[in-house]
A and B are shown apart, each in its own frame.
Chain A
Amino acid sequence: MGPEDLKRVLKLLPDQRQAEEVLVGLETPDDAGVYLLDEENALVHTLDFFTPIVDDPYLFGQIAATNSLSDVYAMGGTPLSAMNIVCFPCSLDMDILAEILRGGADKLREAGVALLGGHTVDDQEPKYGMAVTGKVHPKKILRNRGAQPGDLLVLTKPLGTGVLASAIKADFLTERDATDAIQGMVTLNRKASEAALRAGARAATDVTGFGLLGHLATMLPERGVGCELYLDQVPYYEGTREMAESGMVPGGAYRNRDFMKGRLDVAEGLDELELLLLCDPQTSGGLLLALPEEGLEAFQEAMEPDGFFRVIGKFTADEGARITIR
């Protein structure tokens, strides 16, 4: 669902007078809910599922699981247990479902997360994902907001999965051509999350359906802090630009862009396509972090030897809390 529609629907919910144990709830656009247990422990809850974005069922299972776990990592938490959520047509070969679930289970094992059960619904289009429970120290929650002027904006996976999934759907690319992006989508955000905590990151979220700009906007408060984006530092998976130029920009990118327009300060003459790419909806995207400059070295060390990241911008003092693209 697009950000605008979601906002409208959530507004219709009756006012949820929250228990004081609710540390993170509906009132902020955070990645997961957090519920306080005691001084040392809080529970992190999240749920995510979606339709296949690749044809290979095992890969799809892995991507869906990686994506579901990501919200816990984005809160600075450690995932503990998970439940499968499955929609699947009875008419389809059950071996396909078995492969999807095997992909998910393998990813959970890699993350050290226990699979406790799940629920299956007969549906025309397959969908798969998980509800994940994790833990976090109540004083070490990485919320979306908290960035201060001067903090670096760090992204831990390239962008472009929306465009590439579209291209795979259209047979412009095979899954083999998109190896780079698929590898990225099955990479856990665990290492990035641990590195962020070690380096003293002040805020974090993960990049998913609202695209880079949409999720960056959730890191900015109503006023006081803005962000300057370094356009030439934003990384893309191989083939993204080429496929976007061939007409593979997904509808979600346009919706995300339209939603963001009022908050952007864009350099004159910026190519339309560049802006759309920054709004490309991501599946299992990387973490987006606000990192104090003095933490960069520690972060880099913690991401060695093969953890991907780029510094793609800097938070600024800005009354209008705008995103500047230069």
Chain B
Amino acid sequence: MSRVTVDATGLSCPLPVVRTREAMEEGATSLEVLVDNPTSRDNVARFAASRGAKVEIREEGSLFRVLIDLPGEPGSSSSPAGQAPLASSSGTVVVLSDDVMGKGDRELGGLLVKAFLNTLSEGDNPPGKVILYNRGVLLAVEGSDTVEPLRRLQDRGTLVMACGTCLNFFQVLEKLAVGTVSNMFEIAETLMTAERVVAV
């Protein structure tokens, strides 16, 4: 596939990164980004690396060519615009629809879900996405002891999505401490296109 050229000379940050992302969203997986200052060079290279791309920089006088090659995974462009890039390669989606794990004793269930998220966040293969709906969204609000492991997951590249309708229902939208507010369209699409869904 031929390289798509993005001419970002004369632009200052964050525009070169914005142009690069736009080209990627239009489907380009092999790009050459032209920039004329070290700040833009570093930022574009960092952005591409955060998307899992192979990056090479060629310097020609005051011009820098940033060569970017994304791993060509068809169908992997489902991450919504504006979202943090997925560092995790795992296509696994974990669904939590309650703030406890398992039916039965809720106190025990609370301990279990915390242990579960801790284990996930420390494991070798963090899931690509965690979806929280119904009482599950309470796991991600201020004061919950599962915020920490969810943050760790997020730091490792897991996209944590909390159902906005549910946050509103429990009146905790303003207290969301980790993850992004999502909607049923996004949640349904994520579940339908997931490689594997683990419902807890």
B50 cross-chain contacts in A, Cβ below 8 A: 245-247
A249 with B43: CB separation less than 8 A: yes
Chain B proximity of A4: nearest CB distance (Å)? 15
**Chain A: CB-nearest residue to B81:** A171
State which of B14, B42, B81, B154 has its C-beta within 8 Å of the C-beta of A166: B14
Give a binary string over A214-247; 1 marks a CB under 8 Å from any B CB, 0 the rest.
Answer: 0000000000000000000000000001101111
**Chain B binding surface, main DSSP class:** helix
Chain B proximity of A319: nearest CB distance (Å)? 33
Task: Indicate whether B180 reaches chain A with its CB closer than 8 angstroms.
Answer: yes
Whole-angstrom CA separation of A76 from B48 in the bound complex: 45
Task: Indicate whether A325 reaches chain B with its CB closer than 8 angstroms.
Answer: no
Whole-angstrom CA separation of A166 from B14 in the bound complex: 6
**Chain A binding surface, main DSSP class:** loop
B180 with A251: CB separation less than 8 A: no
**Chain B: CB-nearest residue to A244:** B46
A254 cross-chain contacts in B, Cβ below 8 A: 38-39, 42
B14 with A169: CB separation less than 8 A: yes
Task: Indicate whether B24 reaches chain A with its CB closer than 8 angstroms.
Answer: no
A247 with B43: CB separation less than 8 A: yes
In the complex, the number of residue pairs spanning A and B with C-beta atoms less than 8 Å apart equals 63
Whole-angstrom CA separation of A170 from B154 in the bound complex: 21
Contacts A251-B12, A251-B39: A246 and B17 contacting too (C-beta < 8 A)? yes
B42 cross-chain contacts in A, Cβ below 8 A: 247, 249, 254
Within 8 A of A (CB), among B164-200: 180-181
Chain B proximity of A137: nearest CB distance (Å)? 40
Task: Indicate whether B155 reaches chain A with its CB closer than 8 angstroms.
Answer: yes
The size of the chain A interface, using a CB distance under 8 A, is 22
B12 with A247: CB separation less than 8 A: no
B14 cross-chain contacts in A, Cβ below 8 A: 166-167, 169-170, 172, 247-248, 250
Give a binary string over A151-182; 1 marks a CB under 8 Å from any B CB, 0 the rest.
Answer: 00000000000000011011111101100000
A249 cross-chain contacts in B, Cβ below 8 A: 13, 39, 42-43, 46
Within 8 A of A (CB), among B39-70: 39, 42-50
State which of A173, A174, A242, A251 has its C-beta within 8 Å of the C-beta of B13: A251
Task: Indicate whether B110 reaches chain A with its CB closer than 8 angstroms.
Answer: no
Task: Indicate whether B85 reaches chain A with its CB closer than 8 angstroms.
Answer: yes
A170 with B180: CB separation less than 8 A: no
Instruction: List 5 A-B pairs, minimum CB-CB distance, nearest first.
Output: A247-B47, A247-B43, A170-B14, A247-B17, A247-B46
A166-B14, A171-B18, A273-B46 provided; 16 other pairs, C-beta below 8 A? Answer: A167-B14, A170-B15, A171-B81, A171-B82, A172-B84, A244-B46, A245-B49, A245-B50, A246-B47, A246-B84, A247-B42, A247-B47, A250-B14, A251-B13, A251-B39, A254-B38
15 contacts between A and B (CB under 8 A): A167-B14, A170-B17, A171-B81, A242-B154, A245-B50, A247-B20, A247-B44, A247-B45, A248-B13, A248-B17, A249-B39, A249-B43, A250-B13, A251-B13, A251-B39
Residues in chain B within 8 A of chain A (CB atoms): 12-15, 17-18, 20-21, 37-39, 42-50, 81-82, 84-85, 154-155, 180-181
